């Protein structure tokens, strides 16, 4: 069963928060990074029943509204265990130096590579894609051919690997092993910027070419 995808651009860093909801209004929120009032307003106006809050990684611009959305909806929060410490620390997640409002929290459960998470008619495969951060993940909707990629890849670029816990060679491996192995028509909904496809990025993204500017 297909589901709707709404993108809310939040925070001064223009982070993409995605709200997924099926015909029964069962919903999943991906990367609620900030501007919680806007997120809650959309949920309430559309009478959505949010069951899950999924975080692609633990950087502040992707998690800072997670606790407030959980409080408002009762949804369960999940992140990969390698990034879970960031949810408890303004210093580790970067909220301190970004001067973002942050409430520390513990996730309700941990994401596992190769496992699926679901709520209502929405089912997403979790793929662990370290490199931008140790616990970065992408979420793959195989039925609808959608990928929620966090900061692994953007249209024409890739996520930074010079932040604490980042690593360029690990990021390259994640891109080639976990993203480029998906069909070309799969649509990438990135953590920042506009949507693209696996095929378009494979052909045009400079970081995915043989002469990639990784240094």
Specify if 15 maps to a domain. yes
Per the structure, how many domains does the chain have? 1
Cα gap 8→45, rounded to integer Å: 14
d(CA 188, CA 138): 10
Would residue 134 count as lying in a domain?
yes
- The DSSP result for 126-187, as a single string, is EEE-TTSSTT-EEEEETTTTEEEEETSEETTEE--SSSTT--HHHHHHHIIIIITTS-TTPE
pTM score, whole prediction: 0.96
Answer yes or no: is 213 within a domain.
Answer: no
State which residues form the domain around 182. Answer: 4-208
Task: Please indicate, yes or no, if residue 214 is contained in any of the structural domains.
Answer: no
Q: What are phi and psi of 157, to 5 degrees?
A: -155, 180
Per-residue tokens: 80? 């990969």
pLDDT by residue, tens only, the chain of 215 residues: 689 999 999 999 999 999 999 999 999 999 999 999 999 999 999 999 999 999 999 999 899 999 999 999 999 999 999 999 999 988 888 878 888 888 889 999 999 999 999 999 999 999 999 999 999 999 999 999 999 999 999 999 999 999 999 999 999 999 999 999 999 999 999 999 999 999 999 999 999 998 777 65
CATH number of the domain bearing residue 157 = 3.60.15.10
Whether 173 is in a domain gets the answer yes
Residue 215 is assigned to a structural domain of this protein = no
Residue 150 lies in a domain: yes
């Amino acid at each position: 069963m297909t589901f709707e995808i709404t993108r809310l651009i939040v925070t001064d860093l223009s982070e993409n928060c995605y709200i997924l909801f099926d015909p029964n209004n069962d919903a999943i929120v991906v990367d609620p990074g900030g501007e919680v009032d806007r997120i809650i307003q959309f949920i309430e106006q559309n009478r959505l029943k949010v069951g899950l809050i999924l975080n692609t990684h633990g950087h502040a611009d992707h998690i800072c509204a997670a606790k407030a959305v959980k409080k408002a909806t009762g949804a369960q929060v999940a992140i990969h265990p390698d990034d879970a410490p960031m949810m408890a620390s303004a210093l580790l997640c970067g909220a301190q130096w970004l001067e973002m409002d942050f409430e520390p929290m513990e996730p309700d459960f941990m994401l596992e590579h190769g496992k699926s998470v679901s709520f209502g008619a929405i089912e997403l495969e979790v793929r662990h894609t370290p490199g931008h951060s140790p616990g970065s993940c992408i979420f793959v909707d195989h039925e609808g051919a959608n990928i929620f990629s966090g900061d692994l890849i953007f249209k024409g670029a890739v996520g930074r690997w010079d932040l604490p816990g980042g690593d360029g060679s690990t990021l390259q491996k994640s891109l080639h092993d976990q993203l480029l192995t998906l069909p070309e028509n799969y649509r990438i909904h990135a953590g920042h910027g506009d949507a693209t496809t696996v095929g378009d990025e494979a052909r045009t993204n400079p970081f995915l070419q043989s002469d990639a500017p990784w240094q």
